Amino acid sequence: MPKDSNAPTRRRAKTPKFGDSRHLFARLREALAAGAASLPDIATLVARELPADGSVIYVARAGEILELAATHGLNIAAVGRTRLRVGEGIIGMVAASGDTLNLADAQNHPRYVYRAEIGEDAMASMLAVPVKRAGRILGVIAVMSRQARVFAPVEVESVATVAMLLAEILATAGATNMSEEGFSETLPRRYAGHVLSPGIARGTILAYGMTAPIARLLTDDPAAELKRLDKAIDAANKNLDGLIAASLPGGNAPRDVLEAYRMVAQSAGWLTQVRAGIADGLTAETAVDKVSRNLRDRMRKIADPYLRERLSDIEDMTGRLMVALGGMAPKPERADGYVLLVRRLGPADLLDWHARGIAGVAIEEASPSGHAAILARALGLPALQVDRGAVEAANAGDEALLDAEGATLILRPEPEVIQVYDRALAARSVRAAALAGYRDVPSITRDGTSFNLMLNVGLALELDQLDRTGAAGIGLYRTEIAALAAGGIPDVAGQAAEYGRVMDRAKGRRVQFRTLDLGADKLLPGESNQGEENPAMGWRSLRVGLDRPAILRRQLRALLLGAQGRPLAIMFPMVATVEEFRAARDLLEAEATRIRPAPESLEAGTMIEVPSLLFQLPGLLAEADFVSVGTNDLMQFLFAADRGTPELADRYDTLSAPVLELLERLVAACNEAGVPLSVCGEAAGRPLDALAFAAIGVNTLSMSGNAILPVKSLLVEADLNALRPVLRELRRAGAAGGSIREPLAAWAREHNLPV
Ligand code: PEP
Ligand code: MG
């Protein structure tokens, strides 16, 4: 257990208790039931029960104003008269930031604003807590003491609970006309990160996973609530036990991690706090929510990663409890105009949100070559990996600017910033119009080298991009994407219909279908790779296809049927040996003998994603009809760097001597064997990488639709003959393995190339 005085599991001399709060809660409950709680009553009750020398309640008014609505112990004549702007004084600051302030010497705080009419001269300390509901600030409640002191944690918790209840009272059916709409926290916050899919989105934050407003806050039957809590704990524990049982026996790492998680998550400390809340008259979900808010507030302030991890384990467990208590928000039907902000996101979920109309996505744990990122690019959906902390700082309903060009997420942006972005959006449409002009320009560099730009796609809705971009064909059709979108693999007829439609839309242009590449982070509903320590290197992709040949054979049959006699090119993912390629090709040939009409031509190719293939090139190239380099997986296996880990996203570069060397040798081997080569990993769609690849002899590049015209606009302006000696020199200088990206970009800019 961490020895931290802030840790929620620390032993206290006695269980935290809310003074004689039951009396206060009973009064509040009555007021709620009657639909007319009086603010002066609440101000008085809080001050008396805490006890404190004074209390104030400010409520939000139109125009970002806070108005003094009730007080105990201060000048009652100021009620309705004292008004503060959001951000003004300590109360205004609390409303702007959404953070609690606990000040022993409030009057000497730099933001203190003196208002003679309130009569607070004698008060030394102040505890001010925002009154929030569903991301809106409805007011601020503060208690004061004549004696200079910091309010104790138990007092802070008590006032925070009253603030929660007050929020419900203020929001209840406009019951009392006490509060208007409220307003959001107003202080802007910026988070840096990595671009996953370029674009800019303006919208409202949708922080999925946040809890819905709680329907029932207080109870007069704590015993029943404690039973509900125990049942929920039981359900959440069973769920966790299931996860642990599914991991491999024998002390492997994931199991250890889960066990450690269970120890922290089930530790008595925070559950005691939940139980104490219920005993005080809160419903089980209110008590869990209160502890979880508390944790989030503390996590914001803790820099130590170990402690943050522990707190986040508990926060995760509170989430499980909320689900078990039925208090988790369901996904909204539509998400138009929203920016999704989440910790993690799988490709299937990303598709689901896209279908609901989401404007952009910010993910804390993601990396540019992960599948969620690839899908986002394919869909043209702006997406950003953001630094940790954004999810905690955001409230549902916050305005947000997702700048997946400048790699920034801005929460609650200032109006001037919004104006700047509006101008940038306008400029983007001008650039898009200029790029569209390249669609029909011949794909030939200045030195006369022809090249082919092809599309990476996986969904019918992406096929429009063939005509929009003027692509030469489809260099990578990821067949698993449709299965992920549908939540399962369609039957043979369903698959054949899909493949036939793709070929129809390609209108004779080449299509390279890749067989199912499932596993690792591409999991169908119900599948899990809990048992694998390294799923990316585990039982996935073609390995599953060869071990369970029925699925692969059905897919090959569907491809042959869908082709209806047209030329057909099929490639296999994650091939590690020539034998695997041969086994897959044999299955294809066996199916091909049974299907009529036979395709006009049938090509079997392979992805080059596993480095072992590079050492079997003569054998491989003697058998494969074409090859396509998947730089995403190849990079992760070459550098032993997980493609989904954001911290590694910038660590190794495709534009470095080892990768360029590897590609150059591959080009030479393919040329010698007369086997066509393409590059279809994400690097192929980055203009500078594409330029370097072209210079070393790769003339077919396959990429997301939104990359085609930017890459083409660069290549048609490039003189590869001039670039080659420069590239050689840069590679020599960077031979130790370092990136040549910066100097190459500088060369390109000097030559007026649009990088
Ligand atoms: C790759 O690995 O580079 C590739 C194109 O395949 P995927 O991204 O679908 O794994
Ligand atoms: Mg791959």
The pair of structure tokens assigned to 393 is 């700082």
Closest CA to 99 of 77, 74, 128: 128
Q: How far is the CA of 630 from the centre of ligand 2 (A)?
A: 5
Q: Look at ligand 1, atom 3, and give the residue with the nearest C-alpha.
A: 630
Among 680, 700, 704, the mutation site with the greatest number of ligand 1 atoms within 8 A of its Cβ is 680
Alpha-carbon gap, residue 151 to 64, rounded angstroms = 28
Alpha-carbon gap, residue 332 to 54, rounded angstroms = 43
Among 632, 678, 701, the mutation site with the greatest number of ligand 1 atoms within 8 A of its Cβ is 632
pLDDT of residue 311: 64
pLDDT of residue 371: 72
Q: Look at ligand 1, atom 1, and give the residue with the nearest C-alpha.
A: 630
pLDDT of residue 17: 42
Length of the chain, in residues: 755
Q: How far is the CA of 632 from the centre of ligand 1 (A)?
A: 5
For 161-319, strand residue ranges (E) read 183-184, 189-197, 199-206
Closest CA to 91 of 120, 113, 63: 113
User: For the whole prediction, is pTM greater than 0.75?
Assistant: no
- Cite the DSSP H helix spans in 302-406: 305-324, 347-355, 371-379, 390-393
Among 478, 613, 639, the mutation site with the greatest number of ligand 1 atoms within 8 A of its Cβ is 478
Alpha-carbon gap, residue 366 to 585, rounded angstroms = 34
What is the secondary structure of 500-529 as a DSSP string? HHHHHHHTTSEEEEEPP--BTTB--TT---
Alpha-carbon gap, residue 155 to 177, rounded angstroms = 29
**Within 10 A of 476 (CB to CB), how many other CB atoms are there?**
25
Task: Give the 3-state secondary structure of residue 42.
Answer: helix
Q: How far is the CA of 198 from the centre of ligand 1 (A)?
A: 19
Q: How far is the CA of 548 from the centre of ligand 2 (A)?
A: 20
Closest atom of ligand 1 to 609 CA is 2
Alpha-carbon gap, residue 137 to 167, rounded angstroms = 9
Q: How far is the CA of 680 from the centre of ligand 2 (A)?
A: 9
Among 371, 374, 513, 636, the mutation site with the greatest number of ligand 1 atoms within 8 A of its Cβ is 374
Q: Tell me if 484 sits within 8 A of 347, measured CB to CB.
A: yes
Q: Distance of alpha carbon 7 from its chain centroid, rounded? A: 27
Q: Tell me if 58 sits within 8 A of 139, measured CB to CB.
A: yes
pLDDT of residue 420: 87
Q: Which residues of the chain carry a pLDDT beneath 70?
A: 1-25, 27-28, 30-37, 134-135, 172-186, 209-215, 239-268, 296-316, 327-331, 346-348, 525-526, 530, 735-737
Alpha-carbon gap, residue 673 to 623, rounded angstroms = 10
Ligand in closest contact with the CA of 629: 1
Q: Look at ligand 1, atom 6, and give the residue with the nearest C-alpha.
A: 630
Closest atom of ligand 1 to 631 CA is 3
Residues with CB under 6 A from ligand 1: 374, 476, 478, 517, 609, 630-633, 680-681
Ligand in closest contact with the CA of 456: 1
Ligand in closest contact with the CA of 682: 1
Alpha-carbon gap, residue 717 to 258, rounded angstroms = 54
What is the secondary structure of 375-401 as a DSSP string? HHHHHT--EEEE-TTHHHH--TT-EEE
Q: Tell me if 21 sits within 8 A of 280, measured CB to CB.
A: yes
Neighbours of ion ligand 2 (CB under 5 A): 609, 630, 633
For 366-501, strand residue ranges (E) read 383-386, 399-404, 408-411, 452-457, 473-478
Read off the pLDDT of residues 659-675 as tens digits, 9 standing for 90 and up.
999 999 999 999 999 99
Alpha-carbon gap, residue 414 to 579, rounded angstroms = 60
Three state DSSP letters for 620-687: HHHHCCEEEECHHHHHHHHCCCCCCCHHHCCCCCCCEHHHHHHHHHHHHHHHHHCCCEEECCHHHHCH
Ligand in closest contact with the CA of 476: 1
Q: Tell me if 454 sits within 8 A of 470, measured CB to CB.
A: no
The greatest distance separating any two alpha carbons of the chain, rounded to the nearest whole angstrom, comes to 95
Closest atom of ligand 1 to 517 CA is 9
Using the structure block, give the residue that is written with the tokens 């009409």.
Answer: 597
Q: How far is the CA of 84 from the centre of ligand 2 (A)?
A: 57
Among 350, 455, 517, 678, the mutation site with the greatest number of ligand 1 atoms within 8 A of its Cβ is 517
Ligand in closest contact with the CA of 704: 1
Alpha-carbon gap, residue 89 to 349, rounded angstroms = 43
Q: How far is the CA of 608 from the centre of ligand 1 (A)?
A: 10
Q: Tell me if 2 sits within 8 A of 306, measured CB to CB.
A: yes
Closest atom of ligand 1 to 478 CA is 9
Alpha-carbon gap, residue 754 to 684, rounded angstroms = 16
Terminal-residue alpha carbon distance, the chain: 51
CA separation, residue 155 to residues 162, 169, 289, 337 (Å): 11, 21, 17, 40
Q: Which residues contact 656 (CB under 8 A, 6 or more apart)?
A: 734, 737, 738, 739, 740
